[in-house]
Amino acid sequence: DYLESGQTSVGTAIRIEHTAASPLGAKVTATVEIIAVTGRKIVFSVTANDSTGEIGKGTHTRFIVDTERFMKKAEGRK
């Protein structure tokens, strides 16, 4: 909903730290929040929790790109 027509976003980095184990069958919930927008770069904070607390955290970085240009470049890698 926030991108202009002809735009998409592509992931460029995922950095995750596993901080605790969850028991088998535990319900895990992930929470994501945008923490920075710099031009075309968007950085998300990610946390994962089970019923006892945090089990992981990290960041995910994406860039807004022109869809057609990106797909042409990707197809050129064949």
**Whole-number pLDDT of residue 1:** 79
- Total Cβ atoms within 10 A of residue 67: 14
Q: In the predicted model, what is the mean pLDDT of residues 46-74?
A: 96
pTM of the model: 0.84
Token readout for 48 is 């994962």
| Dihedral class, residue 39 (left if φ above 0, else alpha if ψ from -120 to 50, else beta) | left
Q: Which residue has the higher pLDDT, 52 or 2?
A: 52
Residue 27 φ/ψ, nearest 5 degrees: -80, 125
Which residues in the chain belong to E strands, given as ranges?
7-18, 29-38, 41-50, 53-66
Please tell me the distance from the alpha carbon of residue 27 to that of residue 17, in angstroms, as a whole number: 19
